[in-house]
Amino acid sequence: MKSFFKLVVFTALSAMIIVSCGKKADESTSKTNSQSTPTVAGDFVLESTGVTFTLKGTSTELAGIIFTPASEWTDFGPSGMRQASYAFSALEGETDSATVTVFYFGEGGGGTIANNLDRWVGQMELAEGADPHSFVQKGEMTADGMKVHLIKVNGSYNAGGMMSGATVKKDNYTMVGAVLEAPEGNVFFKLTGPTKTANAMAEAMVGMLKATKKL
């Protein structure tokens, strides 16, 4: 857990520095982290991509908290069950954007923390039929005294599957999930995207969560 907390502290301290969108993330990252192959489970670790963000987007208030996204993200606002939705454009070498969606179902709503995180992990698929639950990175941190539960898993992401039941398999993806125990109920943050772009967005998401405050 020491490496995780060092990275979180670094992210929080660097949250206000300006993004360099023209910066190329290390292309070796996507090559060495083949997401169709299971990775070792362990503590939650952020992978530095060399991309920095400014937490100056439009703030959202819900569940007795306020959080402010990166201004470099595209903000799609709330829609349906989503209380907020963001995208970060694909980095060089990848074609899909990474996305963060935020869910809140009221105090006591939405199911347990464990059940939600397990369900998200179950949307990932690993090579050779490996169980993604056996290859999850897990961690915890606090934000203004509130506990935040974190997971990260690499693999193929089965996107969709809600109302239509159809899914689209997206290889070489990373999922990062977070559940913040807010004063008025749990708030769920789900990030998915191609590995390099997702890792960059994850750094900003953790910084956003670390800076979240109670109202």
CB atoms within 10 A of CB 46: 24
112-132 burial, b if ≥16 CB within 10 A, otherwise e? ebeebbbebbebbbbeeeeeb
pLDDT number for residue 20: 38
The Cα–Cα gap between 41 and 38 comes to 9
The Cα–Cα gap between 200 and 202 comes to 5
Per-residue pLDDT tens digits for 158-185:
988 655 568 899 999 999 999 999 999 9
Nearest to 124 by CA among 110, 139, 134, 113: 134
**Domain enclosing residue 140, as ranges:** 2-20+35-47+54-214
pLDDT number for residue 149: 97
pLDDT number for residue 7: 42
pLDDT number for residue 198: 98
Residues 6+ apart with CB under 8 A from 164: none
Give the β-pairing of 137-143 and 42-43. parallel
- Whether residue 152 lies inside any domain: the answer is yes
Q: What are residue 140's DSSP bridge partners?
A: 149
pTM of the complete model: 0.80
pLDDT number for residue 192: 98
Per-residue pLDDT tens digits for 117-127:
999 999 999 98
- Whether residue 180 lies inside any domain: the answer is yes
pLDDT number for residue 41: 59
pLDDT number for residue 162: 58
pLDDT number for residue 116: 95
CB burial class (10 A; 0-12, 13-18, 19+) of residue 75?
middle
CB 180 within 8 A of CB 24: no
207, amino acid identity: G
Number of domains the chain is built from: 1
Q: Is 146 helix (H, G, I), strand (E, B) or coil?
A: strand
pLDDT number for residue 69: 98
- Whether residue 25 lies inside any domain: the answer is no
The Cα–Cα gap between 170 and 160 comes to 11
**CATH number assigned to the domain comprising residue 192:** 3.40.1000.10
- Whether residue 26 lies inside any domain: the answer is no
pLDDT number for residue 28: 33
**Positions of the chain with pLDDT under 70:** 1-41, 161-165
pLDDT number for residue 127: 85
